[in-house]
Amino acid sequence: MEYFLELILGGLTRGSIYALIALGYTMVYGIIELINFAHGEIYMIGAFTALIFTSVLTLLGFNEIAVIVLASLSAVIYSSAYGYTVEKIAYMPLRSASRLSPLISAIGMSIFLQNYVLLAQTSDFLPFPNLIPEFEFIKPYRYIISSSEIIILLTTSTAMILLTFLIKFTRTGKAMRATAQDRKMAMLVGVNVNRVISITFIIGSALAALGGVLIASHVGQINFYIGFIAGIKAFTAAVLGGIGSIPGAVLGALVLGLTESFATGYISSDYEDVFAFGLLVLILIFKPAGILGRVTTQKI
Amino acid sequence: MGGLRLKKFRIQLMIKVQEIKKSFLVSLWFMFLTFPIMVIRVNSIEKVVEWRWKNMLIVGIGSFLLSFVWRYMLKKKEAGEKRAETGESGKTFLIQRILEERRFYIPLVTGLTIIAVAFPFTFSMYQTSIMTTALMYIVLGLGLNIVVGLAGLLDLGYVAFYAVGAYSYALLNYHFGLGFWSVLPIGAVLGFIFGVLLGFPVLRLRGDYLAIVTLGFGEIIRLVLENWNEFSFGPSGIANIDRPGFFGIQFSLQAASIYLYFLMIGLVIFTIIVVNRLQNSRIGRAWIALREDETACQAMGIDKTKTKLRAFALGATWAGMVGVIFAAKTTFINPASFTFLESAMILSIVVLGGMGSILGVIIGALILILLPEYLRAFSDYRMLIFGAIMVIMMVFRPQGIIANIRRTYKFDE
């Protein structure tokens, strides 16, 4: 029973981090119908930035809390900046191109960013310091849940509530929904579509960076390749829930996290990634619209 | 008169100043952007921070200059699009004009044949081996070109079929001692079967989903090969695979590499002929039509799934064949040779050369495989450059170096 509970909590933690990354995919897809392949790399850059700033700030003698806050903040800022720049370079000139072009451009960007980090930093796994302090009250339950798991669950739920608020109740959110529905029409009623798209990329990247910091300090090591697998898994989550739908992405991510947790816990951990890919293939074949997605009909 | 000229000059100067200001801002932005990754490097074992300010200077100057080029290219592309709209695009590439005229075409082909035949006898074994690799990528590129270029299906798991071919030779050779020539058709058939098996469920999906699912399949196959030790010997791979023989004669190492070279030349020619014939056939036209507009295509009575499946399976067949040759050439294979980056490399060959264009793919493969070999200094930057090429080509020249010319029928009065 305890093992079962541990697996559930582990799955939820995993799932909520996938959710943070999946939101970026789903938001971008909702607005410009593009699978932003480079999204996983944005997350990886977030983790690297956090690691670099943590080390530098610790060596400069800042105290622990300041290091956590500043490192996370810089990760969020830098990831957003990268997301914004990637959109301007690789996707904006291709707004009117055929569907295949931005997709190939996105794959190119992803490979480019991976190798950029590989060449500028290192190909080795780097140890990532555990930024999250241990809580006293959690001690008796340590074998079931760790304090980093609690922090992850809390942070992701807060981020999601804020995001929902932003999209439902603010002017920017309204503009985003309008652009997602019909870009031309949104332009006609005076929405600055390019700005909305930039904002979407920035928000998505910021969430991914948050996920990057959390998972890196939870797992304890990072390298330049973490973005690729995480990106595909988050994409799986987004598709599972119905791409373009924000609650769908969260739901899909949790389902994926739990599936992986149980599959590795009860079957075998060698095939961890195979389960995720297998799940992705199965959903796309049997229910391509996802759990909460609408079935779209093609306009002629 | 003089005042007017002065005014004009002043406006030009103002534009120049604005351009410089823009580029300056861009370079500041990139210096900020690359600051943590490019400048700081932390050695976490010795707890030392390494500051590499020189990199920042390089990024600053580089992005300053590149932003001029970027804007110039964008402007040029826009002008080109405008020209195309007004119907003034009569410009074709020099190579295309050469190919159209018989008087240039025949000596060119003869020259190439002489070079191709003389190559392994004039250059060293190492050079021949590199050339053989390049030829293998040409065939892989042409195979993927059927799927991506003609049918417009983005297949990111192409390397899976390559792995199927390579492993089928390695395993059949290991367990049953089968030779190269008997496995070559088996590899092709297995590639075809896998193409159908994987293609059948996924080809109903829309383009971008297809890309991800094929990527997932490619990774699944690699992970299975890596973990299923009893079947594939896991990450340690299979060694001592036989080199191809000639009616039972085994060659020395040098002769074998020359033999493989000519074998690849033969396969390249065979592939070019097949792809060329396919392109102009009923199926080929159906592929191109499907790429352009699925709905219209269905209305014309083309079976969407069947046509796509044909492209997918045919592409896979070629990957299977080259896989067998790859195993025979290196005599050792392991799952590390079949990562996603390999698929990405083949894709960038197709993208650089020009989707749908045979000549383009050949030139693309030669550039992307031979250049990193000869420019050793750049070999670390190989994948970085491949990624950049994909983005740059898509932004500025989506049709590739050599655009595919569609057959058009002109009506002359």
Residues 6+ apart with CB under 8 A from B298: B304
C-alpha A134: how far from chain center: 25
pLDDT of residue A142: 63
pLDDT of residue A61: 80
Contact A78 B36 (CB under 8 A): yes
In this predicted model, what pLDDT tens digit does every residue of A190-205 receive, in sequence order? 889 999 999 999 999 9
Contact yes or no for A180/A244 (Cβ under 8 A): yes
Nearest of B247, B235, B128 to residue B182 by alpha carbon: B247
Contact B154 A104 (CB under 8 A): yes
Count how many residues are written for chain B.
413
pLDDT > 60? residue B195: yes
DSSP symbols for B371-408:
HHHH-GGGGGGHHHHHHHHHHHHHHH-TT-SSPPPPP-
Chain B environment of A115 (Cβ under 8 Å) = 381, 383-384, 387
pLDDT > 60? residue B341: yes
Helix (H) or strand (E) holding B41: strand B40-43
In this predicted model, what pLDDT tens digit does every residue of A137-161 receive, in sequence order? 666 666 666 777 788 888 888 888 8
DSSP symbols for B308-337:
HHHHHHHHHHHHHHHHHHHHHHHS-B-GGG
Give the span between the Cα atoms of A8 and A266, in whole angstroms.
12
Nearest of A186, A244, A233 to residue A29 by alpha carbon: A244
Residue A25 domain flag: yes
**B40 touches A at CB < 8 Å:** yes
In this predicted model, what pLDDT tens digit does every residue of A79-119 receive, in sequence order? 999 999 999 998 888 887 777 788 889 989 998 999 999 88
Q: Could you tell me which residue, B376 or B126, shows the higher pLDDT?
A: B126
A223-250 burial: b if 16+ Cβ within 10 Å, else e: bbbbbbebbbbbbbbbbbbbbbbbebbb
Can you list the positions of beta strands (E) in chain A? 126-127, 221-222
Q: Could you tell me which residue, A136 or B331, shows the higher pLDDT?
A: B331
pLDDT of residue B198: 84
pLDDT > 50? residue B316: yes
Nearest CA in chain B to A49: B36
**B395 touches A at CB < 8 Å:** yes
Give the span between the Cα atoms of A247 and A251, in whole angstroms.
6
Residue A36 domain flag: yes
Q: What is the ipTM of this complex?
A: 0.85
Residue A86 domain flag: yes
Question: What is the residue type of A227?
Answer: G
**B218 touches A at CB < 8 Å:** no
pLDDT > 70? residue A247: yes
pLDDT > 80? residue B312: yes
Q: Which range among A50-59, A232-241, B317-326, B372-381 shows the weakest confidence by mean pLDDT?
A: B372-381
Residues 6+ apart with CB under 8 A from A198: A84, A87, A88
**B74 touches A at CB < 8 Å:** yes
CA of B119 to nearest chain A CA: how many angstroms apart? Answer: 34
Count how many residues are written for chain A.
300
pLDDT of residue B190: 92
pLDDT > 70? residue B324: yes
pLDDT of residue B161: 92
Contact B227 A55 (CB under 8 A): no
Nearest of A34, A22, A6 to residue A210 by alpha carbon: A22
pLDDT category, B118, cuts 50, 70, 90? Answer: confident
pLDDT > 80? residue B83: no
Work out the burial of residue B220: count CB atoms within 10 Å of its CB; fewer than 13 is exposed, 13-18 middle, 19 or more buried. Answer: buried
Task: List the domain boundaries for chain B.
Answer: 12-85, 123-396
pLDDT category, B335, cuts 50, 70, 90? Answer: confident
Nearest of A17, B31, A77 to residue A69 by alpha carbon: A77
Mean residue pLDDT of chain A comes to: 84
Question: What is the residue type of B1?
Answer: M
Give the CB-side neighbour count of residue B220, counting CA atoms within 13 A.
Answer: 16
pLDDT > 60? residue A297: no
Give the span between the Cα atoms of B199 and B308, in whole angstroms.
8
In this predicted model, what pLDDT tens digit does every residue of B28-69 receive, in sequence order? 888 888 888 888 887 766 677 778 888 888 888 888 888 888
Contact yes or no for B139/B264 (Cβ under 8 A): yes
pLDDT category, B89, cuts 50, 70, 90? Answer: very low
Nearest of A231, A286, A262, A279 to residue A26 by alpha carbon: A231
Residue A292 domain flag: no
Window 88-127 of B: residues touching A by CB (8 A cutoff) are: none
Nearest of A201, A209, A204 to residue A249 by alpha carbon: A204
Print the domain residue range for A130: 2-286
Contact A94 B394 (CB under 8 A): yes
In this predicted model, what pLDDT tens digit does every residue of A155-188 receive, in sequence order? 888 888 898 899 889 999 999 889 888 888 889 9
pLDDT category, B412, cuts 50, 70, 90? Answer: low
Contact yes or no for B360/B401 (Cβ under 8 A): yes
Interface probe with B: pick from A74, A104, A274, A283, most Cβ of B within 10 Å: A104
Window 253-292 of B: residues touching A by CB (8 A cutoff) are: none
Tell me the average pLDDT across A32-36. 84
Contact A114 B387 (CB under 8 A): yes
**B152 touches A at CB < 8 Å:** yes
pLDDT > 70? residue B247: no
Contact yes or no for A30/A180 (Cβ under 8 A): yes
How many distinct structural domains can be found in chain A?
A: 1
Least CB-CB distance to A288: which of B41, B74, B209?
Answer: B209
**B324 touches A at CB < 8 Å:** no
Give the span between the Cα atoms of A263 and A144, in whole angstroms.
18
Q: Is 0.80 topped by the overall pTM? A: yes
Least CB-CB distance to B154: which of A103, A122, A277?
Answer: A103
CATH code for the domain in which residue A139 is found: 1.10.3470
Nearest CA in chain B to A37: B212
Contact A115 B205 (CB under 8 A): no
SS3 A127: strand
Alpha helices (H) in A61-192, listed in sequence order: 64-86, 100-120, 147-169, 171-181, 183-188
